[in-house]
């Protein structure tokens, strides 16, 4: 009643040892029943079930002892008393049987209750497991998605790019797209407007990128597009198309007269390329695009390190 359940269990265990040594069946039965109730309050259903089973066994032994004693007494009375006591003996025997049946019914009711509690616990555990599974999937998705733009983040892109480069026959085009003068947008119009610019560019890129090509945000104002098994001419055409589409984004509502433009560095993977060398080459092409005036596409190839502007 004081809700000091662990202390109660400890004291009941001490009492149980005394009653076992004393072979005190009545006290054993009450102790097991009390321990079952305490374990149930603590949420330890297995221990509660085990002590309920002990309660049932003790009750049955106690009842059997009572029956044995009663039958012995009746036999003595039958031997010493006249035949007219026979009906009384039969009535008492019937009463004892009724009590035994009542105890059995109660034990079965307790067993059904324990089974029902076990089923409820199993359903709760299953529901928890399903919830945990959904939570894990959601967390994995969040870990691979850029929170601001909703496109895959750098980790997700690199995880898909790495196996492509390990396939010796697979060639892929990589584009790095950078928003021009993005720092000036943040400094002049504020970070909310800068975030809006990132979202609009990301939405534009998402519309233009079709599987098996995939898109991601490298960080800051940079995005990356990977085109597996694509020719350089096709990648350059997509880069130029994206550049023109970004220029069509209507920014008058929040950037006044300013127009969004992007610079793009493009490259084609080589046989000995790693993720690092491929990204460095595309980044060098992007730097060249920035240096030559922005709002253009620069291609840098692995074999001759040449550049081409469009």
How many CB atoms are located within 10 Å of the residue 266 CB?
30
Smallest CA-to-CA distance from 154 within 224, 105, 55 is with 224
Here the tokens at position 184 are 């000036």
Work out whether strand 297-300 and strand 262-268 pair parallel, antiparallel, or are unpaired. parallel
Distance, in Å, from the CA atom of 282 to the CA atom of 174, rounded to the nearest integer, reads: 7
Instruction: State CA 7 to chain mean position distance.
Output: 36
Q: Are the C-beta atoms of residues 125 and 238 closer than 8 Å to each other?
A: no
List, in order, residues 6 or more apart from 307 with CB less than 8 Å away.
285, 288, 298, 299, 300
- Per DSSP, the residues of 270-303 read -TT--HHHHHHHHHHHHHHHHHTTSSSEEEE-TT
| Catalytic residue positions, numbered | 221
């Amino acid at each position: 009643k004081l809700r000091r359940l662990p202390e109660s269990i400890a004291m009941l265990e001490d009492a149980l040892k005394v009653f076992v040594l004393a072979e005190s069946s009545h006290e054993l039965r009450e102790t097991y029943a009390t321990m079952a109730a305490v374990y149930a309050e603590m949420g330890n259903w297995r221990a509660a079930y085990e002590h309920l089973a002990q309660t049932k066994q003790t009750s049955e032994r106690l009842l059997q002892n009572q029956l044995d004693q009663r039958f012995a007494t009746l036999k003595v009375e039958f031997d010493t008393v006249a035949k007219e006591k026979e009906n009384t003996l039969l009535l008492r025997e019937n009463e004892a049987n009724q009590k035994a049946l009542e105890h059995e019914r109660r034990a079965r009711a307790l067993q059904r209750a324990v089974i029902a509690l076990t089923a409820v616990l199993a359903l709760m555990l299953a529901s928890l497991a399903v919830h945990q599974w959904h939570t894990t999937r959601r967390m994995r998705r969040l870990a691979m998605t850029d929170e601001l733009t909703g496109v895959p983040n750098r980790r997700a892109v690199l995880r898909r790019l790495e196996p492509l480069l390990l396939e010796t026959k697979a060639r892929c085009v990589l584009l790095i797209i950078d928003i021009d003068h993005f720092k000036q947008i943040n400094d002049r119009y504020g970070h909310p407007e800068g975030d809006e610019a990132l979202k609009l560019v990301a939405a534009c890129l998402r519309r233009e990128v079709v599987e098996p090509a995939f898109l991601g945000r490298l960080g800051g104002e940079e995005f990356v597009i990977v085109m597996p098994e694509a020719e350089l001419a096709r990648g350059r055409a997509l880069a130029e198309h994206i550049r023109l589409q970004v220029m069509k984004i209507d920014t008058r509502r929040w950037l006044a007269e300013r127009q969004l433009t992007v610079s793009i560095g493009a490259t084609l993977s080589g046989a000995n390329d790693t993720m690092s060398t491929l990204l460095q080459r595309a980044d060098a092409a992007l730097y060249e695009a920035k240096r030559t005036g922005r709002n253009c596409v620069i291609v840098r190839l692995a074999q001759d390190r040449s550049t081409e502007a469009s």
